[in-house]
Amino acid sequence: MNDLLFGKRIEHERYTAAYEEMCERISLCADTGGVVPLLGPTRSGKSELLRHLRNDLGHWRRLNMVADTCDFALGSLAPKPSEKTLLGALLSTIEPRSNFSRESTELVRKRLTKLIEDRKLRILALDEVSHCAERGANFPPRSATDHFKSLVDETGVVLVLSGLPKFQKLIDDNEQLRDRAMRTVTLHPYAWGDDADREAFLGAVYPFFDLLEENGYTLDFDQADAIRRLYGASGGRIGPVVRLLSHCIRLIGDRKAVEFSDLSKAYRACTQAQSNLPDMFELEDLDDFHLECAYASVMKDADLAVAPTRLQQFCAQKSLVGE
């Protein structure tokens, strides 16, 4: 991907607020251990935020003559987990080359507990935990949350659990895990119908245009109109905006003039068409209703409820369910 955009982090309002909340909650349970959930729709910035936290909060020390270790471990859970692969994913965050295929679930759990203690691990972050709440999971949801609860109790580690909002139900349904969990930090997209959100989205995207111009690119399009279309293409999420702009720069090659047609071409190349939404770069009259629909679609896909505050928002939500 293009280093010009992906090599820099432009921290926008919602990302910064979530980062600060995560730091606060991790600090509050650092002495006794606990669970810190980070949830939000896909491509809302959760994985980037986890890496940011690890870079800032992790402490490195020499493990042996050839390796170092960090007291903040970060990994990800694969789809369709079993109890053993869940524990194995946690184990692999600390020791990436761990081979547990021939071991029993109980032995993997003991290895994990001992490794946390031996490495003096303070924080263990696992991304994509919402796989535990999906139909393909090879265990009852309660089993996963019981493992998380037991791990915190036995080791005093701070367990950061990140994924889609559907994971919240697993927390709510396990009263023991819920009692050990800090208030969930959420990364929601910006709502176009909210004045403050809309201004924050504009304030997040304009710096990308500035960055391109600072690096010699000429933007031969109406920037205000382009941002509206970028909002429609992303549903209010900054990650897809960065992706689309990066692909646009790659598509034009050595040419330094970026035209509207280039944005449109990049949109069609890197964005899946949705049957319930129009082509945001094809519409001649892109109005706020289309932008409300884009936001509502992202929230609906994430199983997040939206309380409409305007008639247009209400109509946008109804249009997605065919009512």
pLDDT digits (tens, 9 = 90+) for 187-240: 999 999 899 999 999 999 999 999 999 999 999 999 999 999 999 999 999 999
Q: Where are the beta strands (DSSP E) in the chain?
A: 34-39, 60-62, 68-70, 72-76, 123-127, 158-163, 185-186, 218-220, 257-259
Tell me, what's the pLDDT at 275? 79
Fold adopted by 3-186: Rossmann fold (3.40.50)
Coil, helix or strand at residue 317: helix
Percent of the chain residues past pLDDT 70, beyond the cut: 91
* Average pLDDT taken over every residue of the chain: 90
Q: Which residues contact 171 (CB under 8 A, 6 or more apart)?
A: 35, 37, 145, 177, 178, 181, 184
pLDDT at 323 over 50: no
Residue spans per domain, the chain? 3-186, 195-320
The confidence band for 7, taking pLDDT boundaries of 50, 70 and 90, is low
What phi and psi, each to the nearest 5 degrees, are found at residue 279?
-75, 110
Q: Cα(121)–Cα(106) distance, rounded to whole angstroms?
A: 20
The confidence band for 285, taking pLDDT boundaries of 50, 70 and 90, is confident
Q: Cα(281)–Cα(263) distance, rounded to whole angstroms?
A: 8
Where is average pLDDT lowest: 117-131, 199-213, 268-282?
Answer: 268-282
- pLDDT, tens digit (0-9, with 9 covering 90-100), for 154-194: 999 999 999 999 999 999 999 999 999 999 999 999 999 89
Count Cβ atoms within 10 A of the Cβ of residue 259 and give its class: 0-12 exposed, 13-18 middle, 19 or more buried: middle
Tell me, what's the pLDDT at 66? 63
